[in-house]
Structure 1
Amino acid sequence: MQNISNLLNNLQLYIVIGLVILVIILLIMNVIIFKSLNRLERKYKKLVRGSSGKNLEDLIVKYFDKVNDAQKESENVKKMYDNLNSKIKRCIQKISIVRYRAFEDVGSDLSFSIALLDANNDGVIITGIYGRDESTTYAKPIDSGMSRYELSQEEKQVLNECINKGI
């Protein structure tokens, strides 16, 4: 026991210096921890700011509900878009017209053929033949780009132009 006491007395200066260094290291670590804690506290206050005393969990649940509502609304808008898109495909989207002289004895290009088609190439060709004594207008239905009636050269031309138009 005496030996240990003598040894401690001899090393007392070194022990004190070691403890002082340890205290300084602990103080530095303490300052770093307080700075980190302050940063964390500022971030926390930013996170819960404006919550007016409400529970943060309630706020998060409310935001998730809003996200779910937005998702449902988005799905409804997509359904409406698909519905409108299918209706639009049945609307007239391609138009082509050809004017020509049906008879040699008539002066100008007063006869015409006009094709009106939807996205599926369904529609009608309307032809007006102008003559000196009479004028005739008639229509031929078009299904999938084809007519079940015989088409004149001008009607075939206007149909091909109309089919080849981009939407």
Structure 2
Amino acid sequence: MENLINIINENISFIVIGLLLIILLLFIIVISLIRTTNKLEKKYRRLMRGVNSKSLEDLISSKLEEIDKAMEKSEKAINECKVIREEIKGCVNKVAIMRYKAFPDVGSDLSFSIAILDAYNDGVLITGIYSRHDSTTYAKPVDKGISRYELSEEETYVLNEAINKK
């Protein structure tokens, strides 16, 4: 033990200088940390001050309210689209037409059959027959893809073509 005390007494000046250097190094580190903390605090205060003296919390809160309103409007729009999609099914959205020569002695394909249907395959078949002396037009109702009237070959063709359209 005496030997250790003698070694410490002989080297006390070096030990004191070493401890002073460690204290100085720690003092520099503490000053550096204080400066960094002050810079961060200034940035934090500026950030929290926000825009037009509004705090960041108030700003975020108002933006979240706007997002909620936008989501409500979006939901309303989606629901309205669903309603419109159902209503459109009742509108004309399938049409097929065929021109043909009804009589061999008439020149061009002046006769026609047209099917006009909605998404439920309800609608009408219109046929125009052209001959040299007169022209006749017929309308036949279609319910769920079926007409209660007898259909010609051309009418059957355009009806099936219209039904198969997507």
TM (normalized to structure 2)? 0.79
Deviation at 1:7, TM superposition (A): 6.7
Deviation at 1:6, TM superposition (A): 6.4
Residue 91 of structure 1 pairs with residue 124 of structure 2: no
The runs of 5 or more residues in structure 1 that have no matched partner are none
Aligned with 1:107: secondary structure? Answer: coil
Mapping for residues 74-85 of structure 1, pairs under 5 Å? 74-85=74-85
Mapping for residues 2-151 of structure 1, pairs under 5 Å? 9-12=9-12, 13-28=14-29, 30-31=31-32, 34-35=35-36, 38-39=39-40, 41-42=42-43, 45=46, 47-48=47-48, 50-151=50-151
Per mean C-alpha deviation after superposition, the further-off stretch among 87-96 and 10-19 is 10-19
CA distances 1:13-64 after superposition (whole Å, capped 9, x unpaired): 224313413431452364256336525643663x446522223332222111
**Are the equivalent residues in 1 in contact too, given 2:50–2:59 (CA < 8 A)?**
no
Alignment partners' CA distance in 1, 2:145 and 2:30: 83
Alignment partners' CA distance in 1, 2:60 and 2:11: 60
CA distances 1:77-116 after superposition (whole Å, capped 9, x unpaired): 1122122222222221221111112222322221110011
Alignment partners' CA distance in 2, 1:73 and 1:148: 46
**Are the equivalent residues in 1 in contact too, given 2:140–2:149 (CA < 8 A)?**
yes
Deviation at 1:151, TM superposition (A): 1.3
Q: Which residue identity lines up with residue 106 of structure 2 in the other structure?
A: V
Alignment partners' CA distance in 2, 1:55 and 1:132: 87
Alignment partners' CA distance in 2, 1:6 and 1:70: 82
Alignment partners' CA distance in 1, 2:91 and 2:59: 47
Root mean square deviation, CA, Å? 2.9
TM (normalized to structure 1)? 0.79
Deviation at 1:119, TM superposition (A): 2.4
Deviation at 1:158, TM superposition (A): 0.8
The runs of 5 or more residues in structure 2 that have no matched partner are none
Aligned with 2:69: secondary structure? Answer: helix
Identity of aligned residues (%): 46
Alignment partners' CA distance in 2, 1:139 and 1:48: 75
Alignment partners' CA distance in 1, 2:6 and 2:162: 112
Alignment partners' CA distance in 2, 1:59 and 1:115: 59
